[in-house]
Structure 1
């Protein structure tokens, strides 16, 4: 049994049902669930720019031709410098199968090819060992802990910051 074929593609109208699920189904996105959100927001955003904005975008992660989840990237800054922050949400059936790290590596390759940024960063929860391994396999390095950075499930929680620089070696995408 070979590796799954993973690719990124723009959001299509048929993907809106999955994006609505991410904002309305408790626990579907695991530790990142932050409560119910506007179920119509995905359709409104899609109508504006198809989720391909200048400072904030999303693409669909496909595995073997099936929508497995989505990835996002948003502009962040420090002083006058700008960089990307990425995120991923996979449906439960696709987790632990090598889809996430491949998609993260592909998105970095895309962003380094089509934008002039030097840095891409990603956050995860201290207990999300699978995501930590995925980021490392995709070429990210742990930078440190951000204390009490996120309010989630009634408490302030720490976050782990990872980054990948344009000059870092590209991981082999198998």
Structure 2
């Protein structure tokens, strides 16, 4: 599968507005309505490429079949030190279930390991999100364990699952076809 990560462009902002204003589009991570113009302000400020002040940086996930973005990957400084990242992904519903997610996350890890001194990359997911668990494992991540009461969602505190990939772990893209 031909897939690429690229910086955001003006034309991609509509996708971010959708994630901010369409309930359920982002799946279990929906946390209520957000400012629909915030994506344009952030894009004008740094193009979504800075992690300063705890912000997440983002790259567009693009496939040759899509005329617009399929979604995006993100990273931010992890909670332990500046030498590790926490990543995430959001794909539009029509782009899920096609192997895009695991490849995009593996590509992001390879990018971060190549361009930053990070030793560790971690990702969290919901215990009920079996598709993301499978994607993370295919992307070279290992399950570390349960983080109890880590997220407030749908009116209650919920557990999360923590995965990680270390710099010395092999990239699954070396043998991907």
- The 1:46/1:65 distance shift into structure 2, 3 A limit, reads farther
Q: 1:14 aligns to what?
A: 11
C-alpha contact (below 8 Å) 2:148/2:159 kept by paired residues? yes
Partners of 1:117 and 1:107 in 2: how far apart? 12
Matches of residues 50-65 of structure 1 in structure 2 within 5 Å?
A: 50-55=47-52, 56-65=56-65
8 Å contact from structure 2 (residues 26, 90) kept in 1: yes
* Alignment RMSD: 1.1
Compute the TM-score of the two structures, normalised by the length of structure 2: 0.93
Q: What runs of 5+ residues in structure 1 fail to find an aligned partner?
A: none
Structure 1 CA distance for aligned equivalents of residues 74 and 22 of structure 2:
19
Q: Which runs of 4+ in 1 moved over 4 A?
A: none
User: For 1:140 and 1:126, how far apart are their aligned partners in 2?
Assistant: 15
User: Per the alignment, in what secondary structure is the counterpart of residue 77 of structure 1?
Assistant: coil
Please say if residues 83 and 117 of structure 2, whose CA atoms lie closer than 8 Å, have aligned partners that are also in contact: no
Say if 2:51 is the partner of 1:42. Answer: no
Identify the residue that residue 147 of structure 2 maps to in structure 1.
Answer: 146
- Matched residue SS, 1:117: coil
Which residue is 1:70 aligned to? Answer: 72
1:30 aligns with 2:32: no
- Using the TM superposition, give the Cα deviation of residue 158 of structure 1 relative to its aligned residue in structure 2, in angstroms: 0.5
Shift of 1:115: 0.1
Q: Distance in 2 between matches of 1:62 and 1:81?
A: 28
Q: Which stretches in structure 2 are left out of the alignment for 5+ residues?
A: none
* Residue of structure 1 in register with 2:105 after alignment: 104
User: C-alpha separation between the residues in 1 aligned to 2:114 and 2:107?
Assistant: 10
1:85 aligns with 2:86: yes
Aligned partner of residue 96 in structure 1, secondary structure: coil
Question: How far apart in 2 are the matches of 1:142 and 1:93?
Answer: 27
| Inter-partner Cα distance in structure 2 for 1:65 and 1:111 | 26
Aligned counterpart, 1:132? 133
